[in-house]
Structure 1
Amino acid sequence: MASRTRALGAGLALCLAATGGAAQTPSSLSPELLSRVQALALAGAQAGAPPEARIEVQLGQLDARLRLAPCAQVQPYLPSGMKMWGRSRIGLRCVDGQARWNVSLPVQVQVYARVLVATTALPAGTVLSQAQLQVADIDIAAESGQVFTDASLLDGRSLQRPLVVGEAVRSTDLKQRRWFAAGERVQVLASGTGYAIASEGQAMEPGLEGQDVRIRFENGRTVTGRAVGERRVEVLL
């Protein structure tokens, strides 16, 4: 175990220490590289942002204790599955150097857009009306959940948690709607590439908004789809 630990330590030192020439420190990252990182973070944030959104990217700093081996080409990249909203990170890897290394640079991404917020403090259980909402320019990347711009989509919806003045109404703040009960007849839309088929079946369980539900057809066949509206189920094939 001790020899293995020493080997791992030696490998880490090779990645973090120069093996000839001056070591690169976090503060010595070139302006050109930082510009590429900024552009990559901006592009990642734009992928999920409204067209009119204003995006601000603040680059953090690498651990000051790092001593990165000299590298002729550092490649910034988006880590797999990483969303460029809120607190996030950009990967930096050496692709042409004496020692290959891979580190992460923290970033803070703010996405400002005009969305619906509460005009007053709203307790949990409040049934929303348009009079309780107004449009404001806020950082929609600060929290998770879909935001809204159309007040009619929130009219009559109930809150499952309280909101403070100026806080955005998000999909995660709303109580789930029950679109139909078990045993009800529902419309089933099955769609795929280039086609769509509509049919009717019987719900085998309650249809909660956005949740999967099993449907039985008259021939006894069952499918699983998603409850998307009043007695409506969508199946993707």
Structure 2
Amino acid sequence: MRLRLVMPAAVRVTLDETLAAAVRRLAGWRWRVEVEPLGPVPAGRLVFPPSIPPGAGSATLRFADDSGNERALAVRLSWSKPAVVALRPLERGIVIAPSDVEVREVRVTRSLQLATEAGEVVGRRLVRSLLAGEPVPLNYLSATPIIQRGDSVIITVRKSSLVVEVRGEALDPGAEGDRIRVRNLQSKAVLQAVITGPGRVEVP
């Protein structure tokens, strides 16, 4: 028995899919976008805009026909992408654990920069509370403090080629790179220092 595979002469693409592909290209968007035309779609080539900001709620597209005549079409846009969401209500100040979050496809707007991988949020502290199912914006996160108030620290002071290290006490909590107050235990002076690692700070 001989089998013959018959392929269609052309693959039809729906109008909405064509518009969505054009919007993704103009936005540099790799994920899903839904496009709702607010009127008949003009014939011709899409000539405007040169770009669309990802997350925009609407846009005006302009098409030119073979004679150079242009017609405009307003569209509503709905953007989706994978993002990290809370699996339960998460209170401000907690350190996020792997069991607190998962990645789902969510609607997005350009006003929020969302975490897209669990590794971006696990181990970091929330600065604002989240509801169950709510995506995690990157600006809701702070690094977990590696020094707490009252911790013993080594204070490093550099002057040219001279490096001096003394014991001190942290007066503020902070993550690596944060500027905190520390007390020199020898002189009792309070200094501003930058956290360089666990238990270590440096006076700039």
Relative to the length of structure 1, the TM-score reads 0.44
Greater Rg, structure 1 or structure 2?
2
Q: Higher helix proportion, which one?
A: 1
